[in-house]
């Protein structure tokens, strides 16, 4: 089959974990005998006239769309130009199926364009955003999310559950002794995400200030996009007794096993998104308990799998209480670590196999 993947970013222009996962899926599909193209934005200065650059990478035809950026809110002239370029890529590649990997960062017109050219449509649904017109098959990361999606969506979209992909082996990454905060003499916390508003890191610092946990080491793993933001975080951290803040910067997924080897809890404080979901899966693959910010006004079961804790980013007291319990309740911490080790996370080959099954069903369903 001919598959067109739509990704907001792609290597080598982006090294974000979500881009790496998109590359892994494309590579696995090619290895399984499929013909694959990727449509993605080209970062950097925009050319005077929006255009598409096509490059072959390890059997994948990558269509770099240059000249703007897609956002669901406030469509602009550059967005419309990118939609035109995307349709030209669809017309050139003539896919049997178009798979949008990130609805929030992608064009709202992608599904309609694909349907106009007779392609079946699939999208990964990570959050609780409205589903676009033209979408036929939605892939959810958990049964909880799929159940909520079915209640919130009008009929006509078929739901499928495919656990997410991690680019490291869970069986290896989660091996190793773990100390408790009491044995170590400090609470070790990591926060994953790019340092750029709204990254949710103020809520984390407010919670640590309120919790008063003594010695705490907070390491932020993610690219520092905004240097002023980084400076303000350092100033705020210095005012919290016992807290030591480290900004690690960009990382490769394979580095996480070492970076999280002795971490008591991983926080994903940004709003639910494709990137946040990938970060969560990699932390779980390392056997680290994860707590993520939940969507405003919605229950935990609608936004998080059962092996992920959640907190209201507007309530520092809630996260302070959770971190306080992790820091002082050994039994609770061991239960969280066991749940993380037992989380279902797929390797790239397993993930691609499950996704191909969705493709097969979508094509068998016909027009």
Supply the DSSP symbol for 104.
T
Tell me which of 222 and 177 has the higher pLDDT: 222
pLDDT tens digits along 89-115: 999 999 999 999 988 777 778 999 999
Residues sharing a CB contact under 8 Å with residue 183, sequence separation 6 or more, in sequence order: none
Residue 129 shares a structural domain with residue 61: yes
Q: In terms of Cα–Cα distance, which of 183, 182, 261 is closest to 221?
A: 261
According to the model, what pLDDT value does residue 199 have?
85
Residue 300 shares a structural domain with residue 361: no
According to the model, what pLDDT value does residue 127 have?
65
Q: Tokens for 34?
A: 């499929």
Please state the φ and ψ torsions of residue 195, each to the nearest 5 degrees. Answer: -85, 95
Could you give the number of structural domains in the chain?
Answer: 2
Q: What is the mean pLDDT of residues 35-52?
A: 85
pLDDT tens digits along 175-196: 555 788 999 999 999 999 889 8
Cα 171 to chain centroid distance, Å, stands at 21
Residue 97 shares a structural domain with residue 223: no
Residue 19 shares a structural domain with residue 73: yes
Q: Indicate whether 7 pLDDT > 80.
A: yes
Q: How far apart are CA 58 and CA 45, in angstroms?
A: 26
Q: Indicate whether 316 pLDDT > 50.
A: yes
According to the model, what pLDDT value does residue 78 have?
53
Q: Tokens for 141?
A: 């990361």
Residues sharing a CB contact under 8 Å with residue 155, sequence separation 6 or more, in sequence order: none
Residue 200 shares a structural domain with residue 310: yes
pLDDT tens digits along 300-311: 443 444 567 888
Range of weakest confidence among 74-88, 235-249, 328-342: 74-88
Q: How far apart are CA 140 and CA 153, in angstroms?
A: 13
- H helix or E strand, kind and range, residue 60: strand 60-66
Residue 300 shares a structural domain with residue 321: yes
Residue 183 shares a structural domain with residue 310: yes
According to the model, what pLDDT value does residue 69 have?
53
- H helix or E strand, kind and range, residue 100: strand 97-100
Q: What is the mean pLDDT of residues 219-239?
A: 93
Residue 147 shares a structural domain with residue 67: yes
Residue 181 shares a structural domain with residue 232: yes
Residue 284 shares a structural domain with residue 182: yes
CB 201 within 8 A of CB 195: yes
The pTM assigned to this predicted structure is 0.83
pLDDT tens digits along 136-167: 999 988 887 787 766 655 568 899 999 888 88
Q: Is 262 strand, coil or helix?
A: coil
Please state the φ and ψ torsions of residue 207, each to the nearest 5 degrees. Answer: -65, -40
Q: Tell me, what CATH number does 239's domain have?
A: 3.40.50.2000
Q: How many CA atoms lie within 13 A of 250 on its CB side?
A: 7
State the pLDDT confidence band at 357, using cuts at 50, 70 and 90: very high
Q: Tokens for 212?
A: 């008063």
Q: Tokens for 335?
A: 């239960």
Q: What is the mean pLDDT of residues 15-19?
A: 81
CA distances from 26 to 134, 164, 282 (A): 23, 15, 19
Residue 114 shares a structural domain with residue 224: no
Q: Tokens for 294?
A: 């939940």
According to the model, what pLDDT value does residue 146 have?
81
CA distances from 41 to 38, 83, 107, 194 (A): 10, 11, 11, 19
State the pLDDT confidence band at 10, using cuts at 50, 70 and 90: very high
Q: How far apart are CA 314 and CA 293, in angstroms?
A: 9
Please state the φ and ψ torsions of residue 197, each to the nearest 5 degrees. Answer: -60, 145
Q: Tokens for 197?
A: 């508003």
CB 139 within 8 A of CB 124: yes
Domain span holding position 21: 2-165+346-365
Residue 325 shares a structural domain with residue 230: yes
235, exposed or middle or buried, with CB in 10 Å at 0-12, 13-18, 19+?
Answer: exposed
CB 289 within 8 A of CB 264: yes
pLDDT tens digits along 254-285: 888 889 988 999 999 987 666 777 888 888 88
- H helix or E strand, kind and range, residue 309: strand 309-311
């Amino acid at each position: 089959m001919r598959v067109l993947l739509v990704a907001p970013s792609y290597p080598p222009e982006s090294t974000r974990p979500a881009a790496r996962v998109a590359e892994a899926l494309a590579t696995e599909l090619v290895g399984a005998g499929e013909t694959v193209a990727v449509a993605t934005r080209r970062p950097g200065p925009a050319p005077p006239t929006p255009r598409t650059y096509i490059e072959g990478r390890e059997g994948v035809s990558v269509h770099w769309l240059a000249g703007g950026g897609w956002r669901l809110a406030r469509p602009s002239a550059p967005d419309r130009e990118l939609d035109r370029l995307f349709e030209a890529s669809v017309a050139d590649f003539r896919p049997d199926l178009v798979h949008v990997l990130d609805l929030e960062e992608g064009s709202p017109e992608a599904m309609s364009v694909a349907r106009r050219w007779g392609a079946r449509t699939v999208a990964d649904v990570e959050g609780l955003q409205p589903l676009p017109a033209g979408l036929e098959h939605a892939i959810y990361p958990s049964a909880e999310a799929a159940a909520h999606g079915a209640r919130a969506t009008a009929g006509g979209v078929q739901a499928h559950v495919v656990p997410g992909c991690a680019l490291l082996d869970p069986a290896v990454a989660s091996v190793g002794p773990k100390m408790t905060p009491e044995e170590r003499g400090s609470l070790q916390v990591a926060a994953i995400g790019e340092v750029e508003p709204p990254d949710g890191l103020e809520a984390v610092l407010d919670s640590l200030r309120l919790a008063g946990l003594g010695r705490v080491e907070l390491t932020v793993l993610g690219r520092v996009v905004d240097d002023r933001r980084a400076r303000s975080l350092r100033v705020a951290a210095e005012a919290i007794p016992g807290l030591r803040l480290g900004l690690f910067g960009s990382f490769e997924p394979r580095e996480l096993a070492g970076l999280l080897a002795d971490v008591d809890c991983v926080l994903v404080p940004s709003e639910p998104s494709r990137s946040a979901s990938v970060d969560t899966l990699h932390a779980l693959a390392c056997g680290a308990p994860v707590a993520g910010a939940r969507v405003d006004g919605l229950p935990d079961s609608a936004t998080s799998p059962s092996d992920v804790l959640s907190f209201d980013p507007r309530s520092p007291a809630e996260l302070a209480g959770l971190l306080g319990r992790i820091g002082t309740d050994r039994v609770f911490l061991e239960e969280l670590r066991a749940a993380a080790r037992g989380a279902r996370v797929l390797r790239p080959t397993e993930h691609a196999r499950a996704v191909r099954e969705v493709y097969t069903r979508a094509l068998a369903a016909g027009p």
